[in-house]
């Protein structure tokens, strides 16, 4: 199987997946946890939020929705990768996957 035999949508899904992963990473770092969040780790005021007092609820909801989309994209990505791998199989490999014996070549 060649290294670059993926379709354009596989690359697009991978790019979207990386982008959502980075956004979720930043959202999680911004959130204020029970211990004061990231600001408390660097000596800042742990009790205050730079985005207001209700921002924690909004960030939590956004993170949950992004996590659901992230899992959905991973499932779609796995499915499309399996489909693109089946396209590049040889006839004998496809026959083995379908539980049919491969064709026998008896020419001299």
Q: Whole-prediction pTM value?
A: 0.56
List all residues 6 or more positions away from 87 whose beta carbon is below 8 Å from its beta carbon: 5
How many residues appear in the chain? Answer: 108
Over the chain, what is the mean pLDDT? 74
Please give the residue that has the higher pLDDT: either 86 or 32: 32
pLDDT surpassing 80 at residue 10: yes
């Amino acid at each position: 199987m060649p290294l670059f035999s993926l379709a354009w949508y596989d690359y697009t899904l991978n790019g979207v997946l990386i982008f959502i992963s980075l956004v979720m990473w930043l959202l999680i770092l911004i959130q204020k946890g029970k211990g004061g969040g990231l600001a408390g780790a660097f000596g800042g005021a742990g009790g205050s939020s730079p985005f207001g007092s209700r921002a924690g609820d909004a960030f939590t909801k956004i993170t949950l929705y992004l996590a659901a989309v992230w899992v959905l994209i991973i499932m779609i990505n796995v499915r499309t990768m399996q489909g693109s791998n089946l396209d590049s199989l040889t006839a004998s490999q496809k026959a083995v996957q379908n539980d049919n014996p491969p064709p026998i070549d008896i020419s001299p």
